[in-house]
Amino acid sequence: MNWLDLIAWISLILSLAQAVVIAVDIFRYRQTMMPIMNAVWPLIGLFFPVVGIWAYFGLGREQSSQSHSDASEPEKPFWQSVFVSTTHCSAGCSLGDMIGAPLVFLTGILIAGSTLLTDYIVEFVLAYIFGIAFQYFGMGFTKHKDPKAALKNAIKADTLSLLAFEVGMFGWMALVSLVFFATPPRPDSPTFWLMMQIAMMLGFLTSFPANWVLVRRGVKHAM
**pLDDT tens-digit map of 43-92:** 999 988 888 899 999 888 765 555 444 444 557 788 888 898 888 888 88
Burial class of residue 1, CB neighbours in 10 A (0-12, 13-18, 19+):
exposed
Check whether 36 has a pLDDT greater than 70.
yes
End-to-end CA distance of the chain: 43
Q: Is the pTM above the cut of 0.95?
A: no
Q: Which of 107, 103, 98, 85 has its CA nearest to residue 173?
A: 98
Range name among 2-6, 139-143, 203-207 with the lowest pLDDT average: 139-143
| Residue that wins the pLDDT comparison between 71 and 154 | 154
Q: How confident is residue 144, by pLDDT bands cut at 50, 70 and 90? A: low
